[in-house]
Chains A and B, each alone.
Chain A
């Protein structure tokens, strides 16, 4: 579970987080040692994006471009056109909303082999409205040629980095850092671009979830099982291209569809699922869990998730409500 205010404080503390494993930073460094095309770009957030590991290990392939994200995206495009594979890092808002035009014209349009990595997804930060990426998935989905990934958590991060690097073209990778030591039974999970993964079976309803909401959806499914609802949970780690076949299959099988995302309900996973199902003529009872077309404020992650309805309770309520409704 998301662990609370203390962890969030460290997100905004741009010094080292010694107790927290740098799952992303290690994965990037590992693959960079294998692939000399990979260069690391940053905008004054090396520790917070875990790229201090890359900086210290491969300094001649590391470029801190300062607090200047628009320029960073153009530089990344230029490097990609010269054969490099830039990974460009900052917080999600500053990777998408701020340099959108540069990302569109210098990365998406030419299919530049650039990986844009955005941290602090959704409401997982104390830093408030300025730092909360609640529309990054929507913005990146809207760009032609862009692949959009959000691993469910630290277990899927390494696979996400490797999948992004294997993909020849632009990728937006939304990353949430680990909040504490990894559990003793930590096991890396796979991620294949374009494939959703069924993480819990069930015939009565399906929850399509991404990122932090996968774990919360699983908790909701456990609660619902106690009340006799058999709820499937599907981890949709690729928001674009969406795994339409899996979405359609599980919507048809259950007839009750809930989406859950740490993001606005507009333009992200909920929209993608709805678009897919309508165009496929799949009728299903449907609800979206997410930030309901509003800006939030600074606060601890548990507080904000509770206040804005990103909870297992909200998912469970939606399932029960939809199931009680006539098909």
Chain B
């Protein structure tokens, strides 16, 4: 893969980043007693790949015009997002304890009150891809070098607007657009199949003229390779359907379908102890 503008991946370093992100997620949600801990643990490996290998940004220049655009359509996966910003030098770490505190800019649904590092505000599900498409079309028309990355929760595939955007992106053939579907199979009421049948997911995207890859979202090397292939794809938008497991990395949380889950300080302490005992998985 043409990877000239990226250093060769150091998988051990990425695993350490993912581990640090998981520690943050647990630490941020624990004091609240409830929150989006499961999604954060589940997507930590994806975020490690994105923020510490794939995305191009300047931590001290959030409005750098050539930065890649990162859009978190699942804005409630905010513990993980704020953690990734702090770990990547884009957010002062001392702000993390203000997460979800009244008056804080670190909201439970990420908002642009935080600053320009938040490219757009979501929370109303299914909107991220449309905004990403607008940015991709603008970038293509302006000959800009940036790419647009949208992280989508799989439950968002139930929103009609998502398919409007999918059809338009496939039709316009914007190859500077990469969608990552966090296929954790969880939504508010539990397993996605308990709500609506989602499968087959990959062929849905293929039929909308997207370049589709399926990947184990906890396999760092495979995820990086998929992102690189997406970058090398011409004439089509790319989607990476990343299969992830909610609660990943903490035995008693893995596979527990809790959307906005009760999570006590005791749970947090036990989770941290287990994460520390396990260390980074690589």
How many angstroms between the C-alpha atoms of A71 and B160 in the bound complex?
Answer: 9
- Contact across chains for B135 and A82 when beta carbons are under 8 A apart: yes
A residues in contact with B168, CB < 8 Å: 65-66, 68, 71, 75
Given A66-B167, A105-B122, A78 contacting B134 (CB threshold 8 A): yes
How many angstroms between the C-alpha atoms of A79 and B174 in the bound complex?
Answer: 14
Name the one of B112, B133, B141, B144 contacting A78, with C-beta atoms under 8 angstroms.
B133
- Contact across chains for B120 and A78 when beta carbons are under 8 A apart: yes
Rounded to whole Å, the gap between the CB of B143 and the closest CB of chain A is 12
How many angstroms between the C-alpha atoms of A109 and B136 in the bound complex?
Answer: 21
A residues in contact with B122, CB < 8 Å: 105
Q: A83 contacts the other chain (Cβ, under 8 Å)?
A: yes
Q: B61 contacts the other chain (Cβ, under 8 Å)?
A: no
Q: B35 contacts the other chain (Cβ, under 8 Å)?
A: no
A residues in contact with B138, CB < 8 Å: 78-79, 82-84
- Contact across chains for A77 and B112 when beta carbons are under 8 A apart: no
Listed stretches B9-17, B124-132, B208-216; interface member: B124-132
A residues in contact with B160, CB < 8 Å: 70
Rounded to whole Å, the gap between the CB of B83 and the closest CB of chain A is 24
Interface residues of B in 157-172 (CB under 8 A from A): 160-161, 164-165, 167-168, 171-172
Name the one of A60, A66, A84, A102 contacting B161, with C-beta atoms under 8 angstroms.
A102
Q: A81 contacts the other chain (Cβ, under 8 Å)?
A: yes
Q: B139 contacts the other chain (Cβ, under 8 Å)?
A: yes
How many angstroms between the C-alpha atoms of A73 and B100 in the bound complex?
Answer: 29
- Contact across chains for B165 and A74 when beta carbons are under 8 A apart: yes
How many angstroms between the C-alpha atoms of A61 and B135 in the bound complex?
Answer: 14
Interface residues of A in 117-169 (CB under 8 A from B): none
Q: B137 contacts the other chain (Cβ, under 8 Å)?
A: yes
Rounded to whole Å, the gap between the CB of B78 and the closest CB of chain A is 16
Q: A76 contacts the other chain (Cβ, under 8 Å)?
A: yes
Rounded to whole Å, the gap between the CB of B165 and the closest CB of chain A is 5
- Contact across chains for B134 and A70 when beta carbons are under 8 A apart: no
Contact digits for B131-155, partner A, Cβ 8 Å, 1 yes 0 no: 1111111110110100000000000
Contact digits for B98-120, partner A, Cβ 8 Å, 1 yes 0 no: 00000000000000100000011
A residues in contact with B136, CB < 8 Å: 78
B119 nearest CB neighbor, chain A only: A81
A residues in contact with B120, CB < 8 Å: 77-78, 81, 106, 110
Interface residues of A in 1-46 (CB under 8 A from B): 39
- Contact across chains for B131 and A75 when beta carbons are under 8 A apart: yes
B residues in contact with A70, CB < 8 Å: 130, 160-161, 164
How many angstroms between the C-alpha atoms of A105 and B131 in the bound complex?
Answer: 11
B residues in contact with A84, CB < 8 Å: 138
Name the one of A61, A63, A66, A106 contacting B131, with C-beta atoms under 8 angstroms.
A106
Interface residues of A in 93-125 (CB under 8 A from B): 101-102, 105-106, 109-110
Given A60-B141, A82-B139, A109-B121, A75 contacting B133 (CB threshold 8 A): yes
A residues in contact with B165, CB < 8 Å: 68, 71, 74-75
How many angstroms between the C-alpha atoms of A75 and B164 in the bound complex?
Answer: 11
B residues in contact with A86, CB < 8 Å: 134
Greatest chain B CB density within 10 A among A72, A81, A101, A102 is at A81
- Contact across chains for B127 and A102 when beta carbons are under 8 A apart: yes
Greatest chain B CB density within 10 A among A75, A76, A83, A86 is at A75
Which residues in B have some Cβ–Cβ distance to A below 8 Å?
A: 112, 119-124, 127, 129-139, 141-142, 144, 160-161, 164-165, 167-168, 171-172
8 closest Cβ pairs, A-B complex: A78-B134, A74-B130, A68-B164, A71-B164, A82-B138, A75-B134, A78-B131, A70-B161
Having A74-B134, A77-B131, one finds 15 other A-B pairs with CB under 8 Å, namely A66-B164, A70-B164, A71-B133, A71-B161, A71-B165, A73-B130, A74-B129, A74-B161, A75-B168, A78-B135, A79-B137, A81-B131, A82-B134, A82-B142, A102-B130
In the complex, 16 of the A-B residue pairs with CB atoms within 8 angstroms, ordered by the A residue number, are A66-B168, A71-B133, A74-B127, A74-B129, A76-B134, A78-B130, A78-B134, A78-B136, A78-B137, A79-B135, A81-B120, A83-B138, A101-B124, A106-B130, A109-B121, A110-B121
